[in-house]
Structures are given as C-alpha cells and as structure tokens.
Structure 1
Amino acid sequence: MLTVKNPATGEIAYEVPYGNQEHVNQAIQAATDAFSKWSKTTALERSNFLAAVAGKMKDNKEFLASVITKEMGKTISDARGEVQMAADYFQWFSEQAKRVYGETVPANDVSKRTMVIKKPVGVVGAITPWNFPVAMVARKVAPALAAGCTVVLKPASQSPQSAIELCKLFDEVGIPAGVLNVVTAKSSMVSDVMMNSQAIRKITFTGSTEVGKQLLEGAAKTVKHVSMELGGHAPFIVFDDADIDDAIDGVLKSKYRCSGQMCTATNRIHVQSSIAELFSQKLADRVSSLHVGNGINEESEVGPLVDQQAIAKVEAQVADAVQKGASILTGGKRLSENEFAKGNFFAPTVLKNVNQDMNIYTEETFGPVAPIITFENEEELLLQVNHAEYGLASYMYTNDMSRIIRMTDALEYGMVGVNDPLPFTVQAPFGGTKESGVGKEGGHQGIDEYLEEKMISIRFKNTVPTN
C-alpha cells in the first residue's frame, strides 16, 4: 500500500494500492482493448460523456476539494477553484469533441479528390503532478477522450487519491471500462514500461524539466507523440507607472497561491528602481499579514509545502541568497511551533537586494519566497528577465500601451499576463517555450495534441456513365 500523509498535520490521509509492472501492463492492455470501440464512438457520444463528468464534478466539488487539501495541502478555497477549473476543462472539451474537422484539398487531376481527416493517435500514457492533482488530470484526460483516445493515467505518489476519486465519477456516468485506467506505482517503473510499450502511442507529462528530458529520450525509442508542460521561472515585472497596490494584489495571487508550488508561480519580481523601496515595503507588510495554517481551515491563505524535501529546498535557496547579500523583509524561516509542529510550513517570505549570483535568481523555487530585483529601464530589464532555459509564464504591470506592445513581443515566454496575475483559461492554449515544454494544453489547440492527420486521395472515373 502507498501511504499518503497530510502535509499540514503529518497524519495519514489515505492509503492506496501500490501496483507493480504487471498491473501497468494490464492497464495498457485494457486501454488497448477499449480503444477499438471508443475510437469509433461518435463525437456526440463522447461529448455527452464528458459533459456528464463535468456535471458530476460540480455536484461533488466540496468533497473533491477536501481530498485535494488533505493530500497536498493547498487551501480549501484554492482547491475549490481547482475542481471548478477541472470541470470546465471537461465541459470545454466536450464541445471540442464535436469540432474535429477535416478538409478537402484541391487536386491537380480532375479525376481525383484529396481529403485530410483527423484520427485519434491511440492509447495515451498520462503522467500528472501532485500540485494540481485534479486539474492536471482533466487537462490531459478530457482532450484525449474527446479525440477518441484511451488513457493510462499515472498520478503523482504524493496525491493519488484525487485522481482515484475523479475516476470513480467516470464509472458513475457509464464511461466504458478500459477507457481510463489509473495506476499507482513507482514512477520510474511506470514510465519505463510506457516508453517501451508499442501500444502507448503518446506520452503527456506535467512536471520538472529534468524528468521531461528523460521522457523525451525514452519516447524516441518508439517515436511516440509527446506533449510536455515542464518547469518555469516566471518574472513579475512592475514598471513605475503601474498601480502599485494592484500589482501587489497580483503578486499575492501569483506567488503565494498554492504556497508558491505552481509552475506558473512568480519566481522573480522585477521592480523599476524609482518605486522599488515603496513597493518592497508595501509587499512585505501585506505578506507578513497572510494567514498561514492547515489548508482545510477557511481562514488559511497559505498552506503547507508538500513534504520535507520541499521545505529543505526553500531553506537552502533563502540561505544562499542571504549569504550572497540579500535581505529578508519578512519570513525567511520554517514554521515549527504549536500548530505547525508536525506539518511542512514555511513562512511567506520577501527578499530584497537579490542579484544574479544567487540560486533563487535562476532555479525554480516552488515555495512561498518572493525575491525582488530592481531595474532602471526596458533594455536592462530584458537582459534580466529572459531566462536561458525557461519560458513558461510571465507577468507585467504597466499602463503604457506602447510599452505593453513592445514588452509582450520581447518577452520569451509562452504566456504573458498584463495587469493580470491569473491569465489562464480553458479556452486559451497553455504552454511554454524553450525548455518549459512541448505542445499546448487547453484551447482549440489542446485536442489537436491527441489527433493525427490522414491524407486520402480518391481517383474516380471522370465520365458520366451512359445507359
């Protein structure tokens, strides 16, 4: 059995079956057997199934949210939002299932008709992370099923129960057996089996860039389709013409939500020097008043980190920054007294005087630490913000329209939020550039990741038969 502990209390939250290689092979076989029928269902049938799942999720929002919070720690309000987002993905792709269009291509011969149709790629291996244990499943499973694929799902070992509870809803709406299969087992073993399987025709993964690269290498052995949503190091830019209070509200939403454990979370705050002192103090004041606690409590605004390893990483980054000249404006330490004694809590933190020599400047944090960097002008800023490796999300606060156009063109990121800390929506594509990913999730583009095109040329007699 796999034991899942509540990161806020250290108590056992769930125990789930822990499979072996044979279980993974059985799941792949079940998905393969189901594909022959599921891929031939009509788009309307698949659409109705997915819409029914969306409805069930909304009906069970409170329960699903509580499961998320108990096993990975985010606040209950954040968890409710995640469940709603996941339901929205199922609803969106229930509609996109009916919009998989082909095309007719003009032929060079009057006796030919050339067509292009789209077909499901086949059985999909989906590997999802712990930080959004329902939404990331939805963002992969919904378009895959809408396209006519079947899925073998490997949820993260830190938060498997959320995926299990979601899959129970699939049974309730009558989706055929084998269409979605969940395996809880050692990650390296599951990925090895998937990579070596000829039956798995696509791998979709959300997680670290390091693991993503390993999966890309493995997928090459059988030339699988791949889509990867990998690490990020999002800059949050504040120009001197911005509404400072609005920008600070944006930082709180993009940095401290989910305790900073998001690939799209702000990693660096770049503030124009003329307002840096005012901004820094105001931000520190707001951050110091955030309520830290067990995510299940309604008043909690920042929950625990997922495990002790996550705490150690944040501690190391803060210590490195301070050693190299950064100042702690608030926070900067593990919380371990009283109600925090058995949990994985780190105080929401703001650092100033951060420079490029510090690890936090280039390494993804995945914790509630906001480092502030100053800049003088756009030219200097662009040298600071365009990361050599990462290119997922970025944020910018300014009221200068010309600057908005210049900067959104120049920022080397797949997504840019302008005066918007939460720009992500199911109807728009989600994905990064450079080493932050391959492919898109969401939007009308999301279903294309699970389809392949087939060209058909028909030659016919170009004369009208006579009696």
Structure 2
Amino acid sequence: MFESEMLIGGEWVPGTGDVLQVQNPATEETIGTITNATTEEIDRAIHAARKAFPAWAGLSPFKRAELLHKAGELIDQRKDDIARAMTTEQGKPLNEARGEVSKLAQTLHFYAEEGVRVHGEIIPNESNAYQSLVVREPIGVVAAISPWNYPAELIGWKIGGALAAGCTIVVKPPELTPFSPLAIARALHDAGIPAGVVNMVTGKGSSVGQHLVESPLVDKVAFTGSGAVGLRIQQSSLTVKKLSLELGGNCPMIVTATADLDAAVKGAARRSFRNMGQICIAINRIYVAESVYEPFLSKLAAAADALTIDNGLDDPGADLGAMASAEPLGKTKAHLADALQKGARLMAGGRPPEGEKFRKGFFFRPTVLADCTHEMQVMTEETFGPLVGVAPFRTLSEAVEKANDTPYGLASYAYTKHMDEMRYISSRLDYGNVAINNVDAGIINAPYGGRKQSGVGYEHGREGMLEYFNFKHVRICFDEPEDA
C-alpha cells in the first residue's frame, strides 16, 4: 500500500535523496517515507521520457487507446487498495476516496476514446493549386506537478490527456500524499504502458518540481496548485515552454429570492465543505437576497451541524474526515478569527469536534459565518478549509459585482428559478465555470479552466487533450498531372 520506490524508465528504483516522512492526518502518526529525488534521478526520468517519446508518439492512437483502457480497468480493479492509501495519507473518508479513484479510471477511458478522434483541417487558399493542411502533433515531454487535495484525480487529468495525445510524462506527486499516486503509477506500469512513457519521481516541489520546470528537455509543464507557485513556475522557466496552470480560486455563490432554498442549502453544504473545503472549486463566499437571508442562514447552519466527521478509515461513510495537514487548518482558524474580530456572526462550527478520538489529528467542524464583508479574509482570500462566509445583497447587479470582486476566476455558482436571472448572472460572472442550480462546475467531457489569476489552459474535455499538441501548417503546391 505504501510503495516508496520511484518509477524511472520502466524500472522501480529506490531513491537516494533525503528521507521525507508521510503522516496520517487523522492520527498524526508516520505511515511511511519517501525520498527527495536527486537532480541525477530527476534527469534520468526526463531522459527516459525523452527516449521513449518518438516510439510512443509514432504508435497508432488506437494502440495507445487500448493501453489506456487497460490501465483504467486495472485501476478500477485496485480501487479499494488505492483508496485506502489515499484516506490514510490525505484524510478524506474511504467512500469518497473510492469515488475519486473511480473518476480517475473514467478519465483514462475518456481520453482513450478522445485520442482516436484527433482531427486536423484542410484550409482553402487563394489558388486551387495550393492546399493547406493543419495537423496536430504531440508536444513532447511533459512535467506534471499535482497537489495533495485530490492526489489521484488531478494526476489522471494530466496523464490521460498527455498519453492520449502521444506525449510522455514525468510526474511529481505531492509530498503530503505520494502513496496513492505511486500505486497509480504501478497500475499504469502493470497495464503495459511502455518503459519511459510514464515516470514518477518523489520529493518536494521546491527542489524536484523546480528542477523539472527549469529543465530544457521538458516541453510542457502541467501544474495544479497555488497561485504563488504557479506564478513562480511562469517566471522561472529557463526555456520557452507551454504551460497549463490551474491555480485555484475564491469561488462565490449567489442565491436569489426565487431560488429553491432547500436545494441551495444542500448545494452550499456540499460544495463548501466537501473534502473539508480543500478543493479549488469550493464555495468560499455566498451572497443571498435580503428577503431570504435569515432563512437561508438558519438552514445552512443546521446542514453544517448535521455533517458527520470521523477518521475516514474507521467510518468510510462519514461526510468529512481530517484536514490534510496543520497548514490548511491553521489558515482556516486564522480566517475565522479575522472575521469574528471584524464583526462576523458565528452560525455553526468554529471549533474542533469533541471527543477523545479527536484529541490528535487535524479535525475541524464545518463553519458558517454570517454578516461578512469584503474587509474580511474569508471573503477575499481562498481559505482552503471548512469555512464559508455569507452576506446579504439587495440587487442582482450588487451580487454580481461582489462575486466578481476578486483576482480569481475559476468557478462560480448561482441558485435561481428565474430564466432572466439565469441569463443575467451567467453572462456577467467573470469565471471559467458557472454552475446554475447545481454545484458540479466540472465534468470530464467539458473544458475546465480559470480566468485571471486562476490560471491558463484547460483540463477536461477535448480541450484538455488539445493542450498537449502542437499545431503544424503544411502548405502544398500541386501541378496538373502530365497526362491530365
């Protein structure tokens, strides 16, 4: 379950760098160790990917699809073991971890199918003697750097799109949650993906990730994580590279007077607190029409209080588990204290769960704050924890203005039963993803990406695979055949 070797050039090798401990966030116990890959080991992985690229790119897309399908099937077969590793290292309940691994398998199947539908174009010229072909060719070697909140699914988006396009890849899994990604790499290897096509090196982002970014042999960097790190990646690359940066957000939700309040509360509770709020598209702040403000607050507070928290291994069906580490827990507490000091009203949570079993571990009750303003951190920064701020609004234009008052633009949400309000809100929210009367802003067969400081590029959908291609224009001049 806790594989610590790295996959380089088709071989599982022990690392020789510094040893890093990995904790169970529910118990604070060490569950295993990984090594911080040395520059020599990282370079070996990059060279292995470079060596494997021509053959993999030249392979029939149908053969690549066959291997991706096989990998998806194998991951699904090993779902329970991978999920148990994820819960142990990340904290989310076991049933939720199983669901994430299933989504990873579905992602590989989706991109297996998309890979055989890579279409080019024929473009007319001024003269019929000329014909312009636009073809798509795989970029080359990809460095994938992923975060700890969804250690399987977010890696799958990158591996699926890259491999279907014909690229090879070097993955740097998160140091907090390395074991479920390593189990995924094991499944890809066992499915028959050729040596060097998928490589995985462990360690810190500041050293391993940075070396991948700076390598002149890496053609593209696909990163999911914080805006600060994404900006550093953009600024520190020593050569021109294609970048896909998914950098999180500060996601709003608007609830109008015509909304189904029960549905809105159910959606808000799910998307504010799922995975303890440790998700890029979590609802951070909610703007509610004055006429339904207090009823919404009381219902949301009751929904938050009803959510169950436990060690995800002890209770696989718990709503929430532990937070992944002390860092996001500390930020949650800091944002809470800031809001209360500035006049927010505590409606639910605000403390760790009670009981001896929660004496250790990074647990915190889902927390609802009322009467929040944009002078509070909870409304202007991404908390990445189980904390949501709520504020009233008088007019729809005011709600949209407040929702857009952020440097981020990943996802936004609204609940309304009025068609005119739906059009008004969806056309004016400056976000890459807008969900109306639901809180599932991302689905695998539609493009998913942010605006402004939430990043560049897309994952999911056909667009997620096209991020791994170069376009080539081939212009041909024809003569009339001699015997025409």
TM-score of the two chains, using structure 1 as the length reference: 0.97
Match of 1:288 in 2: 305
**Bigger shift: 198-207 or 70-79?**
70-79
Distance 1:158 1:360 in 2: 25
Which of the residues 153, 156, 168 maps onto 2:171? Answer: 153
Deviation at 1:8, TM superposition (A): 0.6
Q: Deviations over 1:87-141 (max 9, x none)?
A: 1110110001101111112133333332111100010011001000000000001
Which of the residues 283, 296, 305 maps onto 1:266? Answer: 283
Q: Deviations over 1:31-84 (max 9, x none)?
A: 000102111101101111111111112112211111111111111222122111
Distance 2:386 2:71 in 1: 34
Asked if the contact 1:315–1:334 (Cα under 8 Å) also holds between the matched residues in 2, the reply is no
Deviation at 1:333, TM superposition (A): 1.9
Distance 1:240 1:460 in 2: 65
Deviation at 1:337, TM superposition (A): 4.5
Which of the residues 69, 94, 102 maps onto 1:76? Answer: 94
Deviation at 1:423, TM superposition (A): 3.3
Asked if the contact 1:106–1:114 (Cα under 8 Å) also holds between the matched residues in 2, the reply is yes
- Structure-to-structure mapping, 1:169-248, within 5 angstroms: 169-219=187-237, 221-248=238-265
Asked if the contact 2:144–2:171 (Cα under 8 Å) also holds between the matched residues in 1, the reply is yes
- 5+ unaligned residues in a row in structure 2: which ranges? 1-18
Distance 1:312 1:447 in 2: 37
Distance 1:305 1:406 in 2: 37
Q: Is the counterpart of residue 4 in structure 1 residue 22 in structure 2?
A: yes
Distance 1:189 1:133 in 2: 19
**Identity of matched residues, %:** 38
Asked if the contact 1:86–1:134 (Cα under 8 Å) also holds between the matched residues in 2, the reply is yes
Distance 2:200 2:451 in 1: 30
Match of 1:278 in 2: 295
TM-score of the two chains, using structure 2 as the length reference: 0.94
Asked if the contact 2:408–2:454 (Cα under 8 Å) also holds between the matched residues in 1, the reply is yes
Asked if the contact 1:4–1:12 (Cα under 8 Å) also holds between the matched residues in 2, the reply is yes
Distance 1:321 1:61 in 2: 41
Match of 2:330 in 1: 312
Distance 1:134 1:398 in 2: 34
Q: Deviations over 1:132-173 (max 9, x none)?
A: 000000000101000000001011110111110001011211
Asked if the contact 2:141–2:167 (Cα under 8 Å) also holds between the matched residues in 1, the reply is yes
Q: Is the counterpart of residue 388 in structure 1 residue 368 in structure 2?
A: no
Letter in 1 for 2:241: K
Distance 1:104 1:289 in 2: 58
Asked if the contact 1:31–1:180 (Cα under 8 Å) also holds between the matched residues in 2, the reply is yes
Letter in 2 for 1:227: S
Deviation at 1:211, TM superposition (A): 0.6
The structure 1 segments of at least 4 consecutive aligned residues displaced by more than 4 Å after TM superposition are: none
Q: Is the counterpart of residue 13 in structure 1 residue 31 in structure 2?
A: yes
3-state SS in 1 of match to 2:115: helix
Aligned length: 465
Letter in 1 for 2:257: D
Q: Is the counterpart of residue 438 in structure 1 residue 484 in structure 2?
A: no
Distance 2:336 2:265 in 1: 21
Distance 2:57 2:317 in 1: 46
**Bigger shift: 10-19 or 310-319?**
10-19
Asked if the contact 1:260–1:368 (Cα under 8 Å) also holds between the matched residues in 2, the reply is yes
- 5+ unaligned residues in a row in structure 1: which ranges? none
3-state SS in 2 of match to 1:334: coil
Match of 1:166 in 2: 184
- Structure-to-structure mapping, 1:130-145, within 5 angstroms: 130-145=148-163
Deviation at 1:329, TM superposition (A): 1.2
Deviation at 1:15, TM superposition (A): 2.1
Asked if the contact 1:336–1:345 (Cα under 8 Å) also holds between the matched residues in 2, the reply is no
Letter in 2 for 1:362: T
Match of 2:362 in 1: 344
Q: Is the counterpart of residue 302 in structure 1 residue 320 in structure 2?
A: yes
Match of 2:466 in 1: 448
Asked if the contact 2:92–2:320 (Cα under 8 Å) also holds between the matched residues in 1, the reply is yes
3-state SS in 2 of match to 1:152: strand
Letter in 2 for 1:123: V
Asked if the contact 2:94–2:317 (Cα under 8 Å) also holds between the matched residues in 1, the reply is no
Letter in 2 for 1:333: R
